[in-house]
């Protein structure tokens, strides 16, 4: 088969995972994970540390062999997929410290070279290096030795390397760990640009709720080795108790009511209670509330409250 | 090999050359070349007036070729050993694993870089020795012999370095896994004193490894034929040198891809992350 042939056979499901299990000795890290990622989606795999996010993404990347279950990524089983499949994926990790003596420009040109045989008329590969440097905002640093880059610049280079082959699917594993808020904001803008640019499908892991909410079209919450929730930030919030909380005071007493339809409830409340109702307050359930309730509502969830979570409002 | 594979090998050759060029420009690497060269040169200078018993030859004349042989082995084993161990820990290897046919290119590049790196290492010792002592008795034939001993010696020893680099648990352990065995082998391989001075079984061990034969081949290149009297059997044993070094090269060429593939399969982001954390925590 000619490299690139498979590009034409695009289907709408990019990732398909069914009853995925992973055991290390007697310890079962993944106890049956099911989800799908469709073409062009940005999906966040969210969960506390140790929930199995990295294990899951490494199985999808083809870097780890699963114990059992069905996994299809871009139409192939990553455990068996070859180099042509590899050319259609991109990987960005948090721990890379490689090529300290190279310059970003040189490294991108070199690594881009591997994708040249996989280019097609619709998807010329690799990415033009100049364009790529501009896209990730490394312009003034492109000719510095990589060892001299800051953490945020380094990660932007990692993203540039991840997409130099114009991947159909990009994996981002904890992409903003250790970033300051400014670098994090810039990185989020970059991910939005990527997903708009080529319609690249992006699967990222994070333990940062704010990040998941900002970046992802859809959030998968992984807890205790299984997906406990799957939906947009709004849908997830609605799955729990009610979408909103209404608080008010009447006759010297404080009241709280959770409801799916705050407007209707308040209309009725005012109609019935009249002038007696004071201090009326409607608060939407935040993703954070949802997350806490989902992760800790799980049977056997032993995670100490909030200890392993990064809660950024 | 497919054309895509050949394309990757081409990228690997270019990578190898570029890494070598960078190493030449790096103060850290220049310092290493100079330091090892100067230590060896110092040893020769200190013994410059000693005559080797049984010949009219001076100590530096006899020892220089053996030291060059030891440098070849040291560079070809310890060099890739460290490079590979580091590539596993800093994510270089994983980076190439994520590119189509990337590992093929990485290993090609590594062989090129490490083979080229032996050249400045030898020159640092050879050039001043050439000016200070009378070292080359063999003329053009001698240089030709030097060339093939160097080439065959690299083919025999580079795979050993790659395999050690693939198996060593961490860069910090390269001392025990790489340096120590090489220093022991150098000690018993007739580099600084004739191997015949050691017990019989040690001589057998020494002759099973490439260090002895590369040293012998180097001496055959530099020394007059009469000096062969100092060797085991009173001969340069050229045919045996070719045979032993070729055997190591063939076994290495067969074994190395298997070991490297096994190692590369285990590479993942969490492994690199563990290595990063281990590097931060030296004492446990």
CB neighbourhood size of A39 (10 A)? 16
Interface membership of B83 toward A (CB under 8 Å) = no
- Give the pLDDT of residue A284: 76
- Model confidence at A307, pLDDT cuts 50, 70, 90, reads very low
d(C-alpha B240, C-alpha B236), whole Å = 9
Q: What is the mean pLDDT of chain B?
A: 91
d(C-alpha B249, C-alpha B245), whole Å = 6
Interface membership of A98 toward B (CB under 8 Å) = yes
Mean predicted confidence (pLDDT) in B233-246: 95
d(C-alpha B108, C-alpha B7), whole Å = 12
How much of chain B exceeds pLDDT 90, in percent?
Answer: 70
What does the DSSP assignment read for A247-313?
EEEETTEEEEEEES-HHHHHHHHHHHHGGGEEEEEEEEPPHHHHHHHHHHHSTT----TTTT-B---
Mean predicted confidence (pLDDT) in B186-203: 89
Matching residue, tokens 């800093």? B90
User: Cβ(A59)–Cβ(A20) under 8 Å?
Assistant: yes
d(C-alpha A153, C-alpha A132), whole Å = 14
pLDDT in tens, A132-168: 999 888 989 999 999 999 888 888 899 999 999 999 9
The encoded tokens of residue A290 equal: 């949802």
d(C-alpha A159, C-alpha A149), whole Å = 14
Burial of B134 (0-12, 13-18, 19+ CB in 10 A): exposed
More confident residue, B236 or A305: B236
Interface membership of A93 toward B (CB under 8 Å) = yes
pLDDT in tens, B32-61: 999 999 999 999 999 888 888 777 889 899
Residue B142, SS3 per DSSP: helix
What does the DSSP assignment read for B47-92?
TTTPBPTTSS-BHHHHHHHHHHHHHHHHHHHHHHHHHHHHHHHHSH
The encoded tokens of residue A285 equal: 């359930």
Cα first-last separation, chain B:
46
Q: How far is CA B255 from the centre of its chain?
A: 18
Interface membership of B105 toward A (CB under 8 Å) = yes
Cα first-last separation, chain A:
50
Residues sharing a CB contact under 8 Å with residue A271, sequence separation 6 or more, in sequence order: none
More confident residue, B219 or A273: B219
Interface membership of A205 toward B (CB under 8 Å) = no
Contacts of A89 in chain B (CB under 8 A): 98
Q: Write the CA distances from A47 to A54, A204, A237, A303, B107, integer angstroms.
A: 10, 11, 16, 11, 37
Nearest CA-CA distance, residue A94 and chain B, Å = 8
d(C-alpha A217, C-alpha A76), whole Å = 24
Sheet holding A277-284, edge to edge: A253-259, A244-250, A277-284
How much of chain B exceeds pLDDT 70, in percent?
Answer: 98
Q: What is the mean pLDDT of chain A?
A: 84
Nearest CA-CA distance, residue A114 and chain B, Å = 6
Q: Do A89 and B99 touch (CB under 8 A)?
A: no
d(C-alpha B141, C-alpha A123), whole Å = 56
User: Cβ(A301)–Cβ(A199) under 8 Å?
Assistant: no
Q: Which of A228-242, A248-262, B161-175, B208-222 has the highest mean pLDDT?
A: B208-222
Contacts of B97 in chain A (CB under 8 A): 63
């Amino acid at each position: 088969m000619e490299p690139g042939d498979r590009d034409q056979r695009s289907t709408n499901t990019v990732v398909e995972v069914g009853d995925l299990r992973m055991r290390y000795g007697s310890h079962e890290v993944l106890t049956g994970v099911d989800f799908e990622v469709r073409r062009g989606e940005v999906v966040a795999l969210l969960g506390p540390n140790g929930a199995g996010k990295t294990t899951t993404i490494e199985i999808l990347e083809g870097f780890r062999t699963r114990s059992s279950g069905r996994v299809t990524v871009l139409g192939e089983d990553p455990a068996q997929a070859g180099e042509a499949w590899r050319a259609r994926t991109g990987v960005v990790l948090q721990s890379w410290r490689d090529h300290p003596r190279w310059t970003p420009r040189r490294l991108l040109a070199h690594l881009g070279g591997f994708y040249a045989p996989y280019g097609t008329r619709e998807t010329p590969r690799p990415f033009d290096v100049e364009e790529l440097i501009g896209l990730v905002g490394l312009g003034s640093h492109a000719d510095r030795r990589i060892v001299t880059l800051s953490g945020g610049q380094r990660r932007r280079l990692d993203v540039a390397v991840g997409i130099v082959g114009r991947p159909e699917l990009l994996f981002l594993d904890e992409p903003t760990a250790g970033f300051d808020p400014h670098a994090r904001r810039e990185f989020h803008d970059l991910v939005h640009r990527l997903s708009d640019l080529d319609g690249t499908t992006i699967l990222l892991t994070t333990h940062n709720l704010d990040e998941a909410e900002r970046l992802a079209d859809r959030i998968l919450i992984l807890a205790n080795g299984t997906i406990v929730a799957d939906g947009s930030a709004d849908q997830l919030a609605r799955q729990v108790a009610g979408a909103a909380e209404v608080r008010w005071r009447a006759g010297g007493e404080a009241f709280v009511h959770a409801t799916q339809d705050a407007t209707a409830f308040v209309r009725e409340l005012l109609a019935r209670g009249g002038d007696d109702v004071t201090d009326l307050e409607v608060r939407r359930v935040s993703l954070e509330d949802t997350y806490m309730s989902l992760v800790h509502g799980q049977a056997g969830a032993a995670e100490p409250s909030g200890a392993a979570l990064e809660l950024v409002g | 090999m497919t054309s895509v594979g050949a394309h990757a090998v081409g990228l690997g050759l270019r990578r190898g050359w570029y890494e070598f060029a960078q190493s030449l420009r790096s103060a850290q690497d220049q310092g290493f070349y100079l330091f090892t060269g100067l230590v060896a040169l110092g040893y020769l200078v200190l013994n410059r007036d000693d005559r080797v018993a049984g010949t009219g030859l001076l100590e530096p004349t006899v020892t220089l070729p053996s030291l060059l042989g030891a440098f070849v082995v040291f560079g070809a084993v310890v060099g890739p050993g460290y490079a590979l161990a580091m590539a596993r820990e800093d994510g270089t290897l994983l980076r190439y694993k994520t590119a189509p046919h990337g590992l093929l290119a990485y290993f090609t590049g590594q062989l090129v870089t490490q083979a080229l790196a032996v050249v400045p290492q030898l020159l640092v010792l050879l050039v001043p020795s050439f000016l200070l002592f009378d070292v080359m008795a063999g003329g053009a034939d001698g240089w030709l012999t030097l060339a093939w001993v160097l080439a065959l010696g690299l083919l025999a020893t580079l795979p050993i370095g790659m395999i050690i680099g693939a198996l060593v648990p961490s860069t910090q352990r390269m001392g025990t896994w790489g340096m120590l065995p090489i220093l022991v082998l150098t000690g018993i391989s007739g580099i600084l004193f004739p191997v015949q001075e050691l017990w019989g079984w040690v001589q057998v061990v020494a002759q099973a490894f490439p260090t002895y034969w590369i040293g012998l081949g180097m001496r055959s290149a530099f020394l007059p034929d009469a000096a062969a009297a100092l060797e085991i059997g009173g001969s340069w044993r050229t045919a045996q040198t070719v045979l032993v070094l070729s055997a190591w090269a063939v076994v290495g060429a067969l074994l190395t891809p298997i070991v490297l593939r096994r190692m590369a399969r285990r590479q993942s982001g969490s492994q690199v992350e563990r290595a990063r954390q281990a590097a931060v925590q030296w004492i446990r």
